[in-house]
């Protein structure tokens, strides 16, 4: 059965975070390279082990002991580890894979079957991974979004702990979301709109409910409206219809018009050409989140190398690479 999984990622600058000082870009290239070399040496030592000399259990115990070169951190009562640091052949970008070790076990089931819990030892966890791309030239990090894994804040804390543990610097780091410099034109320059998602509260919600249901006193405080096309690749909303909705809000939101203070969400998913990737543009936060489909139909496992390949292709090697915007 064919199955695509949508991955999302956002873009951040690495910035200094000193009290009473203007933030500036934070270069951690030497730290990342030092850790990459340490990880590489650790993996080389593991690869030297003659697996045929040991039982499976003995081999796993030896590998576990030798993998203590990995950096592990406690976060919100869970363990988090950095499992991979690899340098891309362009010698500029690094692939970092973080993993949240979840003690709670999931259940397996069939469509109408009874659930069963996966068996595990007391010291075993369920791993939830995310991939990150670190651009060492621009001090940009791209972070995969995974609701079951690390948050952006956790990645920020992890990097700060590495900075401290390696005595790299006494200056703390902060991840600063890269916002779209001209989100208005970007949204309106699309030609294939897939969805428009809006949420209103207060008086704005009452106005919408009144227009649609012809009733004002409903007791409702919030209304959320999502207009979507079909799910096939060629499906799209009518372009004129979509742009008319967007134009009704875009200037007011960007200029922070008093009449739009109750607009809590305004997100648009679209692309310019059919062969391009869909992007989600957030008119409120003025940010862009990239959405990429990954085929997991064969192994039913999302390979982190595959995710990184998609990341770097979108960031550097497509017709209009995102790196040109940073």
Convert 304-326 into a string of H (helix), E (strand) and C (coil): HHHHHHHHHHHHHHCCCCHHHHC
Position 259 scores a pLDDT of 57
Residues 114 and 248 in one domain: no
> What are residue 315's phi and psi, to 5 degrees?
-75, -35
Residues 147 and 90 in one domain: yes
Residues 87 and 119 in one domain: yes
Radius of gyration of the chain (CA): 23
Q: Is the pLDDT of residue 112 over 70?
A: no
Please answer whether residues 190 and 238 qualify as being in contact, where contact means their C-beta atoms are separated by less than 8 angstroms: no
Tell whether the torsion through CA atoms of 221, 151, 146 and 228 is positive or negative. Answer: positive
- Highest average pLDDT, of 158-167, 176-185, 253-262, comes from 158-167
> How does the average pLDDT of the chain come out, rounded?
85
Q: Is the pLDDT of residue 117 over 80?
A: no
DSSP-derived secondary structure letter, 31: H
Which of 117, 142, 177 finishes a domain?
177
Element of type H or E holding 133: strand 126-135
**Assigned domain for 17 exists:** yes
The closest alpha carbon to 82, from 42, 135, 49, belongs to 42
Tokens 């600058």 correspond to 13
**Assigned domain for 315 exists:** no
Q: Is the pLDDT of residue 251 over 90?
A: no
Element of type H or E holding 58: helix 56-66
Residues 117 and 54 in one domain: yes
Six token digits for residue 271 = 């692309």
Task: Give the domain extent around 256.
Answer: 183-285
pLDDT tens-digit readout, 271-299: 888 778 888 888 877 766 787 777 765 66
**Assigned domain for 148 exists:** yes
Strands 140-145 and 173-177: unpaired
Position 160 scores a pLDDT of 96
Element of type H or E holding 214: none
The helix/strand/coil state of 102 is strand
Q: Which residue has the higher pLDDT, 86 or 215?
A: 86
Please answer whether residues 104 and 120 qualify as being in contact, where contact means their C-beta atoms are separated by less than 8 angstroms: no
Task: Count up the domains in the chain and report the number.
Answer: 2
Q: Is the pLDDT of residue 202 over 90?
A: no
> What are residue 15's phi and psi, to 5 degrees?
-125, 150
The pLDDT-based confidence of 107 (bands split at 50, 70, 90) is: low
Please answer whether residues 26 and 181 qualify as being in contact, where contact means their C-beta atoms are separated by less than 8 angstroms: no
Residues 280 and 154 in one domain: no
Position 88 scores a pLDDT of 95
Residues 95 and 158 in one domain: yes
Residues 104 and 131 in one domain: yes
> What are residue 98's phi and psi, to 5 degrees?
-100, 150
Show the CA angle centred on residue 209, arms to residues 204 and 210, nearest 5°: 95
- C-alpha distances out from residue 230 to 2, 21, 47, 199, Å: 18, 49, 49, 21
């Amino acid at each position: 059965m064919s199955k695509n999984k949508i991955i999302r990622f956002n873009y951040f600058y690495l910035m200094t975070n000193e009290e009473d000082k203007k933030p500036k870009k934070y270069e951690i290239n030497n730290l990342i390279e030092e850790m990459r070399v340490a990880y590489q040496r650790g993996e080389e030592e593991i690869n030297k082990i003659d697996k045929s000399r040991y039982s499976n259990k003995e081999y796993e115990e030896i590998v576990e002991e030798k993998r203590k070169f990995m950096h592990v951190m406690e976060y919100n009562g869970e363990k988090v580890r950095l499992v991979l640091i690899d340098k891309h052949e362009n010698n500029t970008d690094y692939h970092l894979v973080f993993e949240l070790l979840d003690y709670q076990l999931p259940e397996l089931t069939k469509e109408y079957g009874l659930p069963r819990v996966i068996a595990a030892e007391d010291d075993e966890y369920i791993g939830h991974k995310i991939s990150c791309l670190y651009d060492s030239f621009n001090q940009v990090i791209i972070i995969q979004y995974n609701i079951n894994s690390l948050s952006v804040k956790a990645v920020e804390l992890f990097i700060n702990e590495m900075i401290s543990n390696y005595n790299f610097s006494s200056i703390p780091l902060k991840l600063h979301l890269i916002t779209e410099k001209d989100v208005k034109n970007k949204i309106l320059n699309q030609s294939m709109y897939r969805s428009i998602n809006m949420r209103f509260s207060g008086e704005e919600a009452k106005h919408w409910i009144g227009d649609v249901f012809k009733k004002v006193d409903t007791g409702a405080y919030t209304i959320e409206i999502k207009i979507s096309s079909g799910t096939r690749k060629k499906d799209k909303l009518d372009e004129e219809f979509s742009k008319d909705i967007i134009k009704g809000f875009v200037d007011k939101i960007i200029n922070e018009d008093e009449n739009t203070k109750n607009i809590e969400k305004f997100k648009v998913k679209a692309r310019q050409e059919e062969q391009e990737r869909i992007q989600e543009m957030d008119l409120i936060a003025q940010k862009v989140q990239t959405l990429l489909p990954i085929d997991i139909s064969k192994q039913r496992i999302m390979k982190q190398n595959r995710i990184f390949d998609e990341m770097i292709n979108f960031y550097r090697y497509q017709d209009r690479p995102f790196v040109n915007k940073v």
